[in-house]
Structure 1
Amino acid sequence: MIMEQRLTAEERLTLKTGAFGAVFLVANADPGVIALFRESFAASGVVADSSGVVKAALTSGPLPKLPRDPERGIEAVVLPALGRAVRILREKSPRDVADYRRVVLSAAQRAAGAHRGVAPAEAAVIERIRGALDQPA
């Protein structure tokens, strides 16, 4: 039996940076004030559907500080955070890796589809998010 280990505050923030940052990337891929509001609201429901370590990490502690730079600056923070988050979970709570991937991808997809469907730029961002989540150990 695999024992789950507690996540540190820094590790929880890494999970949160990846997850919230993924939604932020999608929202910035097809900008607009109304779209941003709808996309953020749509994505928030996915976090409520998570469980265990993932839900605890995403619903506690401070919000992540994401760069306000153009999309590439944000990606330089978010995509590595997603990879680190998966590695953290593989090490400390392997049974939660699939849930984290599901939550992040579902939130990104809901955000993308919340305002006039999924734009090509949003679909491209979701593929980069998927790639970051699927990196080997």
Structure 2
Amino acid sequence: MTDYTDDERKTLRDAGFGAMMLVSQADPGFFAMFSESMAGAKAMAAAPAELRDLFKGGGLPSVPKGGAAEVESTVLGQLQQAVQILQTKSPQDVQAYKDVVIAACDQVAEAKGGVQDTETAMIAKVKAAVGA
């Protein structure tokens, strides 16, 4: 198991959950939020064991503060940092992390009423941030 600092664990975790949040907020709806959260959580639960443990531990993820553009910028920056952390400490997990985050975002988008253009655009930004 890779030895991450607490800050690195937090970044990896917050970035993954933040990406799902961005996609969910791209097509807002109070009731949709619940089904989208469950869909994204299922994708994260299917991650390889070490990544799954990162996503499960540490309590609730931090939610960035600020307006929509600031939150988006923060999360996309966290995703870039997460990939850098993995490239340094656990290069064998980089692709798995990217795959899990993208799968979770795809499932969030598909969870309620089909994928909207705004969700597709946000997923493209997430993919760019992780280098997929």
Partner of 1:64: 61
Looking at structure 2, the residues matched to 119 and 18 of structure 1 have their Cα atoms a distance apart, in angstroms, of 22
Say yes or no: does 1:23 pair with 2:20: yes
Partner of 2:105: 108
Task: Note closer, same or farther for the CA distance 1:32–1:68 as it changes in structure 2 (3 Å cut).
Answer: farther
Task: Note closer, same or farther for the CA distance 1:70–1:28 as it changes in structure 2 (3 Å cut).
Answer: farther
Partner of 1:90: 87
Question: How much does 1:64 deviate?
Answer: 2.3
Residues 1-137 of structure 1: pairs in structure 2 closer than 5 A: 5-134=2-131
Looking at structure 2, the residues matched to 18 and 38 of structure 1 have their Cα atoms a distance apart, in angstroms, of 20
SS of equivalent residue, structure 1 residue 127: helix
Moved more, 84-93 or 68-77: 68-77
Unaligned 5+ runs, structure 2: none
Moved more, 49-58 or 111-120: 49-58
Give me the identity figure in percent. 37
Unaligned 5+ runs, structure 1: none
Looking at structure 2, the residues matched to 77 and 66 of structure 1 have their Cα atoms a distance apart, in angstroms, of 10
SS of equivalent residue, structure 2 residue 97: helix
Looking at structure 2, the residues matched to 42 and 15 of structure 1 have their Cα atoms a distance apart, in angstroms, of 19
Looking at structure 2, the residues matched to 87 and 53 of structure 1 have their Cα atoms a distance apart, in angstroms, of 17
SS of equivalent residue, structure 1 residue 81: helix
Looking at structure 1, the residues matched to 131 and 26 of structure 2 have their Cα atoms a distance apart, in angstroms, of 21
Indicate the RMSD between aligned Cα atoms, in angstroms.
1.4
**Aligned partner letter, 1:105:** I
Structure 1 segments, 4+ long, off by >4 Å, are: none
Deviations 1:48-68 (A, max 9, x none): 111233112111113222135
